Chain A
Amino acid sequence: MRSSQDYRAPFALKIAAVLGLLFMHLPILLIFVYAFTTEDKTYQWPPPGFTLKWFEVTWNRPDVWEALRLSVKVSAISTVIALVLGTLCAAAVSRSKFFGRETISLLVILPIALPGIITGIALRSAFNIADIPFSVWTIVLGHATFCVVVVYNNAVARFRRSSASLIEASMDLGANGFQTFRYVVLPNIATALLAGGMLAFALSFDEVIVTTFTAGQQTTLPIWMLEELVRPRQRPVTNVVAMVVVLVTFLPILAAYYLTRDGDHVAGDGK
């Protein structure tokens, strides 16, 4: 018989794993500390004192609100488009075998497999050629393109697990295709879509590389952050914004985790 000793992790492995996790989390926690610092000219450590003042200052900043509003708008529209396109694609790919099926999967994955700068500059030069002026819609165009894949991945996984006989039963009982979709398919894939939608929202809300090419003079929240990163002007406000962004993106991730935890989870496919 084997001793239970073998099932316990070697000490060195444990230490390396925990150190790795700390390496991934400490930098983010550091931002939480900096949001309360009284220092406003440098990134001094340790902070000379703590204050809540910067939260109020940030709250009263119209430019931050403006950027936030644009970001939410873009992410919301992109998510809706991605939900529609991703679900359609997933339904087609998982229900039937057809010529070029592999190509469709590749087409969906390509926008995130290629570096974002390529998507960005390609769209930018296409806008130039077609003489399309920058607007909310040019940003949405870019975002929806790479958000399709997260919805698609979630929906495909769920379609694979749900049984086709349910749909046949519904049809046998006299429902037409649309009724079947509404009352049988949709309830089945709803949580997967919700999870995919939330991830798509998070992905779009955070996107900066493609956006710098498709936004023109408009400022989304990540572009506002980028400007502060390149030329720091209001460090305390940036600290607060950074902390809020971390908190806001954590919520959909946690929610998406709990929604898909007992099924084929969404994880493991990267962004």
Chain B
Amino acid sequence: MPNPHAIKPAGGGVFARLSDLFWRRPGVLLLTLLLPPVLWLGVIYIGSLVALLAQSFFSIDEFSGLIKYELTFKTYLELLRPANLDILVRTVSMAAMVTLAAAVIAFPIAYYAARYATGKWKVIFYLGVMLPLWSSYLVKVYAWKLILAKEGILNWIVEKLHLSWALDGILAMPVIGGNSLSVSYIGTFLVFLYVWLPFMILPMQASLERVPLSFLEASSDLGAKPAQTFWAVVFPLALPGMIAGSIFTFSLTLGDYIIPQIVGSSRLFIGQAVYSHQGTAGNIPLAAAFTVVPIIIMAFYLWFAKRKGAFDAI
């Protein structure tokens, strides 16, 4: 029987012995590697999430304003009150609109960058998407506050082009209109679209880059017109990337409470409702129940996206 010490002499010191232990028992090494991150994320983060969700099954006493620690679905029923239901519908439709618009604007950028841009232009397109993606969220919102202000650049341009009547016409429309752009849904929509657009472009570009050129050639060789090639070949292959991007635009819009607070009407979105219920109102159960809605929507969304193969595109 070979003596293990003949192959590798026992080293001195704690490190050497620890190192030997790791080598002999890879399981111990794996455990040591995983323990800190799992403790941090699994215990602190998931623990807090679970604690929060548990509170949604409590309710608040209407008279004392204190939390009653009994299991109940009362808080969830409260979500179905017209005022709260309005908030849910408003937020989800805004998220859907923003996602659709982002897909439409992102496509030409992603397609050009993936298929036609070479050399210097490739770098310009890449950084052109990365820089806005990573620049400060608040600064981006601030920029739109400057743009949409009554005395700001957008109104100035509209006036110079003598299009004020068109803008007034749009603002006079029910629902989406308002006194000015900065207090209308259009304003909120524009800011959401602007802030989340890069999140749509990147995964879309990644999936478009994987469309082989030969597919397009084959399609046109077989007599397809460019539009036919687009709908029959390019679009289905780009779809996973689009869905991957929409995960971001949709989820981020669902949870945001700062943009509608700064640019928009005073009508609440989910994020704002959560914020106000947990803050001054002190109604943590209702706030927790509100957060369950985006979690459930996103869970379905992720499940759907996984089935469509969107995760390979991220």
Contacts and interface: CB of A to CB of B under 8 A. Distances in A.
Interface of A: 2, 6-10, 13-14, 16-17, 20-21, 23-25, 27-28, 30-31, 34, 42-46, 81, 84-86, 88-89, 91-92, 95-96, 98, 104, 107-108, 110-111, 113-119, 121-126, 129, 141, 144-145, 148, 171, 174, 176-179, 199, 202, 206, 208-209, 222, 225-226, 229-230, 238, 242, 245-246, 249-250, 253-254, 257, 267-271
A43 B149 contact: yes
A140 B203 CA distance: 29
Q: Give the 10 A-B CB pairs with smallest separation, nearest first.
A: A115-B255, A16-B108, A176-B19, A177-B19, A126-B48, A17-B112, A27-B143, A43-B149, A92-B33, A122-B48
Contact of B128 (A21, A43, A118, A246): A21
A225 B34 contact: no
Contacts of A202: 134
Interface stretch (B78-86, B163-171, B172-180, B191-199): B191-199
A31 B142 contact: yes
A25 B132 contact: yes
A235 to B, nearest CB: 9
A225 B251 contact: no
B52 A121 contact: yes
Contacts of A230: 261-262
Given A111-B45, A121-B52, A208 B137 contact: yes
A206 to B, nearest CB: 5
A45 B254 CA distance: 33
A126 B194 contact: no
Given A43-B145, A242-B138, A250-B135, 6 more contacts: A13-B116, A17-B109, A25-B128, A96-B30, A174-B8, A208-B137
Contacts of A45: 146, 151-153, 156
Given A30-B146, A111-B45, A126 B51 contact: yes
B143 A28 contact: yes
Given A23-B194, A177-B18, A257-B127, A225 B133 contact: no
A27 B113 CA distance: 22
A119 B105 CA distance: 30
Given A30-B153, A121-B52, A245-B139, A113 B302 contact: yes
12 contacts: A24-B128, A31-B146, A45-B153, A86-B37, A88-B33, A118-B49, A121-B287, A121-B288, A123-B48, A245-B139, A257-B130, A270-B248
Given A107-B42, A257-B127, A84 B36 contact: yes
Contacts of B112: 9, 13-14, 16-17
A20 B41 CA distance: 38
B242 interface: no
Contacts of B203: 268, 270
B146 to A, nearest CB: 5
A85 B287 CA distance: 31
Contact of A115 (B8, B111, B153, B252): B252
Interface of B: 8, 11, 15-16, 18-20, 22-23, 26, 29-30, 33-34, 36-38, 40-42, 44-49, 51-52, 55, 105-106, 108-109, 111-113, 115-116, 125-147, 149, 151-153, 156, 194, 197-199, 202-203, 205-206, 217, 220, 226, 247-248, 251-252, 254-258, 261-262, 271, 274-275, 278, 284, 287-288, 291, 294-295, 298, 302, 314
A43 B149 CA distance: 7
Nearest to A243: B139
A249 B55 contact: no
Given A13-B112, A145-B40, A125 B147 contact: no
Given A25-B128, A28-B140, A98 B146 contact: no
A203 to B, nearest CB: 8
B172 to A, nearest CB: 24
A268 B46 contact: no
Query: Which has the most chain B C-beta neighbours within 10 Å: A17, A34, A44?
Result: A17
Contacts of B147: 27, 30
Nearest to B194: A27
Contacts of B105: 20, 23
B40 A20 contact: no
Query: Which has the most chain B C-beta neighbours within 10 Å: A13, A20, A222, A242?
Result: A20
A140 B299 CA distance: 27
B51 A229 contact: no
